[in-house]
Amino acid sequence: MTGANHFQSEDNGTPLLETRGITKVFGELYANDSVDFTIQKGEIHALLGENGAGKSTLVKILFGSLQQTAGDVLWNGDIVHVNSPSQARALGIGMVFQHFSLFEALTVAENIALSFDNDVELNDVSDKARTLSQQYGLPLDPDALVGDLSVGQRQRIEIIRCLMQDPALIILDEPTSVLTPQEADTLFETLFRLRDEGRSILYISHRLEEVQRLCSAATIMRHGKVVDSCDPRQETAGSLASKMVGAEIEGVSHKRAGETGEVTLSLKNLSMEASHPFAVALKDIFLDVRQGEVVCIAGIAGNGQGELFEAISGEVRQQSADEVTILGQPAGHMSISQRRNLGASFVPEERLGHGAVPGMTLTDNMLLARHASDADTFKKMGRFQVIARSAINAATQRVNSAMDVRKSAEDPPAAALSGGNLQKFIVGRELDRDPDFILVNQPTWGVDAGAAARIRQSLLDLAAAGSAVLVISQDLDEIFEIATSIAVMADGRMTPPAPAEKMTREKIGLLMAGSALEQEQVA
């Protein structure tokens, strides 16, 4: 199915890939500015930089999704013109994008089959995908419809689809965001094996400890330019982050408000049947989140976190009104807007399509989020109400400034922002409402170190001011940095929250695996 291997097992000294003066201009914006770097055969090479530094543009050029304005790409020492992803795959370049390219109406296997340039048997694709998913610790049902899958599960499809192409160079963008620590260890072992076979890996991650563990070389970009190169094994996570942003990054500061206050969110015996064959049923969930608390919920993607978000936010209503209580009000029968009007805010996992409409401007996205829960959004004109554009514009500018949202135009469409900048805007949009309770699903997924610190600090500041904060996250570094207490979800069930200082990565990893015996052992 995959054809002959593209990689060479012996290194003849010629870099596998090299860029010389790669430049990409969008209007007046230099997304890449004379970028030079090389990837050796059998090397795991990190590409680092803030969101908007030019990393995504560069790898899209390497994969043929974009064409450079100037400069050359060399493959095994020869100048090549990569005009399409199919040409990149023919060379031996595989790519896993941060934002997925999947058809929601098709199955996992059908999406994978579409990436092959020749005809393949769907059963063969299913069998191979199932085998690889088990090998890499990424549980995947080849017969599942993509539209029914979580963001984390969709990332697994992209990883498996890339590996099935037998590439010589594998470009991986945030590949461990859906894995437990134990599964990440398994993936790292596989990457080392691929490296030892002679393959090369271009590794993009904001988890700098991973970069130090995996990579023997790193290229660092800022504002479209290469600003440094180093051996990350000789650096610290702090020094790498400083190279990325050009300044020291301050850690988050816990400003405790004192004793926790009243219960703001209460879940009592929350249960919910699976809405489709690939959904996860919620089973007997109890949880209280108090004023001043940051409660974090850990778990592997696809274990009910998405369904829990829908239940709390009001996207799915409950049979009993008191299964969800917000600020003392039974909210189980309330709509999203009614729950927001109680003082709740919600930040979903998926930025584009769920958190923001891709083709609409930031101000119009602000209007959509505020129209039913912000009295300043409309003003009376006689018998009519009209949109108060000045208030919406002011709110958008306020959020952009507070969260340092970087953009190429005054009011661009949401899809024009990098992933990290869009995340800062969506989180900032909800924080700007000064909510009494906020639920955030994956607050810093795919976000650089500087932006992640800003988002996490904002959540801590909100809690210190007396609000209740509930975070769903797969990033254990993040969880231990901000949590006052930690719960774990597995197969639609949730453990009682435990004080963060009493939890360890090993305990959480075992709980995430979902074994009842393991849960008893670490309880």
Given this model, what pLDDT does residue 256 score?
56
Half-sphere exposure of 425 (CA within 13 A, CB side): 32
How far apart (Å, rounded) are the C-alpha atoms in residues 489 and 495?
Answer: 7
What lies within 8 Å, CB to CB, of 62 at 6+ separation is 17, 19, 73, 82, 88, 93, 95, 171, 202
Given this model, what pLDDT does residue 178 score?
60
Give whole-number Cα distances, 35 to 85, 170, 221, in Å.
Answer: 21, 20, 9
Give the tens place of pLDDT for each residue, 82-106. Answer: 999 999 999 999 988 766 788 989 9
Pick the CATH number of 263-358+412-522 from 3.40.50.10440, 3.10.150.10, 3.40.190.290, 3.40.50.300: 3.40.50.300
Give the tens place of pLDDT for each residue, 449-482. Answer: 778 888 999 999 999 999 999 999 988 889 999 9
The position carrying tokens 């590996």 is 163
17-245 and 263-358+412-522 agree in CATH topology: yes
* C-alpha closest to that of 455 among 416, 417, 423, 485: 423
Given this model, what pLDDT does residue 514 score?
64
Q: Which residues of the chain have pLDDT under 50?
A: 3-7, 9, 257, 381, 515-523
Q: May I ask the CATH class of domain 17-245?
A: alpha beta
Given this model, what pLDDT does residue 384 score?
56
Residue type, 376: D
Given this model, what pLDDT does residue 516 score?
39
SS3 312: helix
Compute the C-alpha angle 128/130/132, nearest 5°: 70
Domain boundaries, the chain: 17-245, 263-358+412-522
384-387 and 378-381: which strand pairing? Answer: antiparallel
* C-alpha closest to that of 241 among 477, 451, 30, 31: 451
Local structure of residue 214 (DSSP, 8 states): H
Cβ density class 178-187: b for 16+ within 10 Å, e for less: bbbeebbeeb
Cβ density class 370-405: b for 16+ within 10 Å, e for less: beebbeebbeeeeeeeeebeebbeebbbebbeebeb
The position carrying tokens 């209580």 is 325
The position carrying tokens 């004109």 is 381
Helix then strand then coil, % of the chain, to nearest 5 = 35, 25, 40
Residues 267, 312 contacting (CB under 8 angstroms)? yes
Given this model, what pLDDT does residue 499 score?
95
Given this model, what pLDDT does residue 520 score?
40
Residue 268 phi, psi dihedral angles, 5° rounding: -125, 110
Residue type, 21: G
Q: Is the pTM of this model over 0.75?
A: no
Residues 104, 146 contacting (CB under 8 angstroms)? yes
The position carrying tokens 């020094």 is 239
* C-alpha closest to that of 194 among 159, 229, 232, 153: 159
Q: What is the CA radius of gyration of the chain?
A: 23
* C-alpha closest to that of 137 among 94, 97, 185, 99: 185
Beta bridge partners of 46: 203, 218
Given this model, what pLDDT does residue 314 score?
96
151-163 and 122-135 helices, crossing angle to 10°:
110
Q: Alpha helix (H) ranges present in 92-180?
A: 108-114, 122-135, 151-163
How far apart (Å, rounded) are the C-alpha atoms in residues 173 and 203?
Answer: 6
